């Protein structure tokens, strides 16, 4: 990992997520608080389970994921992190919060570093900023519970359809994609571990979705071929 620059004035990410109000008003405030950036290469571990980070990071570019690891090699991916996400929200409010998961880079990533105190002040600066932050937390919570419902109740086809649609929607909301084809650096194994499936089954399910002309995942890109039908497939309720 190494420090480099990446200015805050041109950053469009902050405008749509946690410190959006402050960032929109005076990007300089954020720029002044940022303690620099850090980069990791694809597949590197960013934080280990048990770490109690004292710096709070936001994801500036690239993808990562949070997961728990089992001794026998199985793992459960808890969420994927894309630009605008916080790596460790807990550290803002809770000192010495030891995380129960680990964070790993999916692609090369760049993180922005902040002191928890500073972010706390930014968030508390206005009611607008507070509710913007609350909105972010709420959404993360919602996504976790969506996955729980998927894994608990839905078939493999629906789980995959929904995961792809969800990620596509989030990317769009952050201004990182604009159509039915977008960057999608998950391996089949990552999809499997996020949805409680095996790679073999994900592969067969993906084949099925491709044959049905709904979805194609190839070369690090996802192509939604028939959004309407994919949504119906995802909503088998």
Partner DNA sequence: CGACATCTTGAGAGACCTCAATGATGGTGG
Partner DNA sequence: CCACCATCATTGAGGTCTCTCAAGATGTCG
Contact between 45 and DNA per CB under 7 A:
no
Integer distance in angstroms from the first to the last C-alpha of the chain?
Answer: 45
Count of residues binding DNA (CB under 7 A)? 20
Helix (H) or strand (E) holding 209, with range, is helix 199-211
Of 45 and 128, which has the nearer Cβ to DNA? 45
Angstrom distance (rounded) from CA 189 to CA 129: 38
171 within 8 A of 177, measured Cβ to Cβ: yes
Within residues 139-198, the interface with DNA by CB under 7 A covers 155-157, 187-189, 192, 196-198
127, burial (CB in 10 Å: exposed 0-12, middle 13-18, buried 19+): exposed
Report the residue count for the chain. 237
Contact between 5 and its own copies per CB under 8 A:
no
CB of 48 to DNA, least distance (A): 20
Angstrom distance (rounded) from CA 53 to CA 89: 10
Of 181 and 199, which has the nearer Cβ to DNA? 199
Residue in this structure with the two tokens 């004035």, named with its chain if needed? 9
Q: How many other C-beta atoms can be found within 10 angstroms of the C-beta atom of residue 39?
A: 18
Q: Which of 215, 208, 211 is nearest to 229 (CA)?
A: 215
Within residues 128-187, the interface with its own copies by CB under 8 A covers 130-131, 134-135, 137-138, 140-142, 144-145, 147-149, 151-153
Of 219 and 228, which has the nearer Cβ to DNA? 219
Of 161 and 206, which has the nearer Cβ to DNA? 206
Residues at the interface with its own copies (CB under 8 A): 68, 70-72, 74-76, 78, 90, 92-95, 97, 100-101, 124, 130-131, 134-135, 137-138, 140-142, 144-145, 147-149, 151-153, 195-196, 237
Residues at the interface with DNA (CB under 7 A): 43, 155-157, 187-189, 192, 196-201, 203-207, 219
């Amino acid at each position: 990992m190494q420090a480099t620059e990446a200015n805050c004035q041109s950053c469009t990410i902050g405008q749509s997520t946690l410190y959006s109000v402050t960032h929109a008003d005076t990007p300089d405030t954020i720029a002044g608080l940022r303690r620099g950036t850090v980069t990791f290469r694809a597949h590197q571990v960013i934080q280990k389970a048990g770490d109690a980070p004292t710096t709070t990071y936001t994801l500036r570019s690239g993808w990562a994921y949070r997961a728990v690891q089992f001794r026998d090699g199985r793992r459960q991916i808890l969420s994927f992190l894309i630009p605008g996400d916080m790596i460790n929200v807990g550290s803002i409010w809770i000192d010495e919060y030891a995380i129960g998961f680990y964070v790993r880079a999916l692609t090369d990533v760049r993180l922005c570093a902040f002191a928890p105190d500073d972010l706390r002040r930014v968030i508390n600066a206005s009611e607008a900023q507070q509710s913007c932050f609350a909105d972010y937390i709420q959404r993360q919570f919602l996504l976790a519970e969506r996955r729980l419902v998927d894994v608990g109740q839905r078939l493999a086809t629906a789980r995959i359809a929904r995961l792809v649609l969800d990620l596509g929607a989030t990317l769009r909301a952050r201004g990182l994609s604009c159509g039915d084809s977008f960057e999608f650096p998950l391996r089949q194994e990552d999809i499997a571990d996020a949805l409680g499936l095996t790679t073999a089954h994900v592969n067969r399910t993906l084949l099925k979705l491709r044959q049905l002309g709904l979805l194609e995942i190839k070369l690090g890109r996802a192509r939604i071929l028939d959004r309407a039908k994919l949504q119906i497939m995802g909503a088998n309720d």
